[in-house]
Amino acid sequence: MAITSRNKISLAYSQASMSDLVFLLLIFFMLTSTLIAPNAIKLLLPASTGKTMAKQTLTVYIDANYNYFVEENPVSVEFLTETIGQKLQGQTEGSVVLRADESVPVQYVVNLIDAVNKVNEMTQAKHKVILATRPAK
């Protein structure tokens, strides 16, 4: 009398779980890639060894052609105070991160600092300007 097993071992490979894994990885990489926001304005930041970290409320860019950008929107010097005031409306303490090209003269940086100080005077707030730098080699 021959004893046979009731459970047969199948040699066929099911690829259903592999396709699920591929779709999960695809969704993961799509979601994480949208969280990374590269700077749309190309700048060569000055080098520094300091490591000051602060929560940024607003980002202002000054490119190599001395153009101001508030949150990647171009702004003229005349409307810099008004634009910053509108963006910081309702906040009493915030950080304005300045990302200026290393070739920008100091006067353009001072113009931004003056604009933030005017906003502070008008709204009785305590906003500060932080200069963004790249790590020194």
Contact (Cβ atoms closer than 8 angstroms) between residue 96 and residue 129: yes
Q: pLDDT tens digits, residue range 22-48?
A: 999 999 888 887 666 555 666 666 666
Q: Report the pLDDT value the prediction gives residue 51, as an integer from 0 to 100.
A: 67
Domain 47-135 listed as CATH 3.30.70? no
Label residue 18 exposed, middle or buried (CB < 10 Å: 0-12, 13-18, 19+): exposed
In the chain, domain spans: 47-135
- Report pTM: 0.62
